[in-house]
Chain A
Amino acid sequence: MKKNLIALSLILILALSLCICAFAAEGSVEMRYVVDTYGLLSFDQWASLENRAANISEQHGCGIYIVTVDDYRNYGDGSVYDVTTQIYHRSGAGFGMGSGRDGIMLLLSMNNRKYALFVYGEKAEYAFNDDGLEQLEEVFLGDLGNDNWLDGFSGYLKACDQFLTRAEEGEPVRDNPLGLIAIAVAVSCGIALVICLILKSMMKTVHRKAGASEYVADGGLHLTQQIDQYTHTTKTRRKIEKNPGSSGGSHSESGAGGIGRSGSF
């Protein structure tokens, strides 16, 4: 019963949005890709983003979606990622392109500042794998965190375009292993150098002596004074950075036939 109500509310909201578009003064734009139910964008901003998203989606045959809501819990059950998958798969909503219903959806839940990315379809998952999604969210999370909605969404669309173009060229965005390889090689060279320097030190056995401990007589050191006096205490405080994996940051998700990421912004 609850689910039915929620489904009904979403359909109503989406329908309302479409109506708003249809009857807007500049009502030549249809809301299909940027569903700003929370109202973060002005009409011009929305229309511009909608057009860009539509062009990119049609050009690549993969839907690029942005959905903003007040609280994701009003639209489904489970986590923000679960609700995003539920919205994507809602019958009649029409998300996804082509027979595989390929698409990527960014959902922002504004009241609790949570977000989720959901990727569905073989073609979409080829363009946006786990490594790619991690790089993708770096493009827009900074702007969204600073409430620069237009820049954030614009960056998201631009990055999606680039990711899909690269996937079509057969070079999808993947994690660059060069940094990891460079660190591994540097550490290995460091270990090799230390070993070689130890071996080299064996070639030199002539050293001038600085001490005379071998010639100490009368049982060694005789201490005549030994004072350990407490003087003062100093305190330093350091704010503990929250573990990105537990809250605040983002993490990989999977389920509902696709993959994605979720977190806070």
Chain B
Amino acid sequence: MPSQVTNYQCPSCTGPLHFVGSTGKLECDYCGSSYDVAEIEALYASKEEQAVQAQRETEAKEEQAGSDWDFSGLNSDWGADAEKMKSYICPSCGAQLICDVSTAATSCPYCGNPTIVPGQLSGALKPDFVIPFKLSKEDAVAALKRHYKGKFFLPKYFVSENHVQQIQGVYVPFWLFDGQAQGEARYETTRSRIYRTGDYEVTETDHFSVLRAGWLSFEKVPVDASSKMPDDHMDSIEPYDYSELKPFSTAYLPGFLADKFDVTAEQSRGRADTRCESTLRFALRNTVIGYESCLTLGERTELNRGKVHYALMPVWMLNTKWQGKDFLFAMNGQTGKLVGDLPMSWGKFWATFAAIAAPLSVLSTVLALTFLG
């Protein structure tokens, strides 16, 4: 079941080409040449055509020659694993790679060449858009160091003892939902005034019945389509700048891992629906102003679902390990927003509590006894 594998090689020296986010070009590590994406795409389109032709000729020759080898002893039955795995051959060094079926692009572990598997991204699985990586691995490491700063309760030795186990640039598949949410909400609101009459304080409260109805349009609400990616991490690194969305091209992928979706648009749309509906409810509630209290009596929302887009978004995933526990950080490869929960030092927490509470207690006691005692 090997598939055709292609990588982008430098037309000058045949070294591997990497997509560099900062320049938006494919660059050669060996001779330093750089090429536009369109230029390489055109070059490889003609190369692929030639390769297909050559493949056909080879197959025709093999058919004519026949085969003397007995392959009957080999077992080609992968059982249940066959559904989950796929193997590829690195075009640079010839190594056979076995990958998860949802893995679309990776690096060859033998020669390090960035390898692309066009078969995984073709046809119905082809993304509509891609946002290219703008930030490098070094940016991700620097962002992680910045993330540690100012975290008062970070354990003393966490920064020095924890080591980044893996940093991987991943194009994460996302479904982008267009649509419109419309609905209405009813509220009971009040407005009060207080006045004094004789020995009594009178509170007069006017009650109102409030209705709001309206609609909101949404464009490209993202929901990550990879079950391997934690949803809350992917939510937390939003938003992406959609002005930099590009039509999909495999030329942006070399050097990064790219997953294909394994959560369908139908499975994902519930999350998009919930987010759109809650945004509409919040927006309607925000128009009820000028009252002292507002009680929601009922809400009704409807969704007009629009187009669904499939896009790959750039994410740097960083794994660290400390005291046997894994910590996962994710950085938006376009904006640099980095998230990841950090371990807590409860000793520091209570020491800080005591350091604030003790002098404050003394001060407030002295002040209280002086002015109130």
Contacts and interface: CB of A to CB of B under 8 A. Distances in A.
**A and B held together in a complex:** yes
Contacts of A184: 361, 364-365, 367-368
Nearest to B154: A203
B357 A188 contact: yes
A196 B235 contact: no
Interface residues on A, range: 35 or more
Given A193-B353, A240-B200, A223 B341 contact: no
A216 B373 contact: no
B205 to A, nearest CB: 5
21 contacts: A177-B369, A184-B364, A185-B364, A188-B361, A189-B353, A192-B356, A196-B356, A205-B147, A205-B340, A208-B232, A208-B235, A209-B235, A210-B274, A211-B275, A211-B282, A216-B217, A218-B217, A225-B212, A228-B210, A229-B208, A231-B208
A4 B328 CA distance: 96
Interface string B307-346: 0000000000000000000000000000000011111100
Interface string A227-238: 111111111111
Contacts of A218: 217
A103 B178 CA distance: 90
Given A180-B373, A212-B272, A221 B152 contact: no
Nearest to A190: B357
Interface stretch (B36-44, B129-137, B162-170, B218-226): B218-226
Contacts of A211: 275, 278-279, 282
A214 B238 contact: yes
A259 to B, nearest CB: 18
B214 interface: yes
A226 B212 contact: yes
A229 B280 CA distance: 22
Interface string A182-224: 0111011101110110011011111111111111111011111
Interface residues of B, number: 75
A58 interface: no
B184 interface: yes
Contacts of B202: 235-238
A182 to B, nearest CB: 9
Interface of A: 175, 177, 180-181, 183-185, 187-189, 191-193, 195-196, 199-200, 202-218, 220-240
B203 interface: yes
A226 B284 CA distance: 10
A114 B115 CA distance: 99
A196 B154 contact: no
A231 B209 contact: yes
A143 to B, nearest CB: 26
B100 interface: no
B53 interface: no
Contacts of A223: 212-214, 287
B153 A199 contact: yes
Contacts of A175: 373
A180 B372 contact: yes
A226 B196 contact: no
Contact of A185 (B204, B272, B284, B361): B361
Contacts of B287: 221, 223, 226
A199 B352 contact: yes
Interface in B276-301: 276, 278-280, 282-284, 287
Contact of A233 (B204, B217, B369): B204
B199 A239 contact: yes
A9 to B, nearest CB: 38
Interface in B115-157: 147, 150-154
B360 interface: yes
Contacts of B231: 208
A206 B369 contact: no
A204 B341 contact: yes
Contacts of B343: 203
Contact of A225 (B184, B222, B354): B184
B35 interface: no
B86 interface: no
A226 B288 CA distance: 9
Contacts of B344: 200, 203
B207 interface: yes
B201 interface: yes
B239 interface: yes
Contacts of A191: 356-357, 360
Nearest to B235: A209
B266 to A, nearest CB: 18
Given A224-B213, A240-B196, A206 B339 contact: yes
Contact of B153 (A203, A215, A230): A203
B240 to A, nearest CB: 9
B243 to A, nearest CB: 13
B232 A206 contact: yes
B215 interface: yes
- List of 3 A-B pairs having minimum Cβ-Cβ separation, nearest first: A225-B213, A192-B357, A192-B356
A209 B283 contact: no
A176 to B, nearest CB: 10
A143 B214 CA distance: 66
Contacts of A199: 152-153, 352
B263 interface: no
Residue of B231, B233, B341, B365 with most partner-chain A CB within 10 A: B365
B275 A224 contact: no
B206 interface: yes
Contacts of B189: 228
B153 A222 contact: no
B236 interface: yes
Contacts of A203: 151, 153-154, 341-344
Nearest to A183: B368
B59 to A, nearest CB: 49
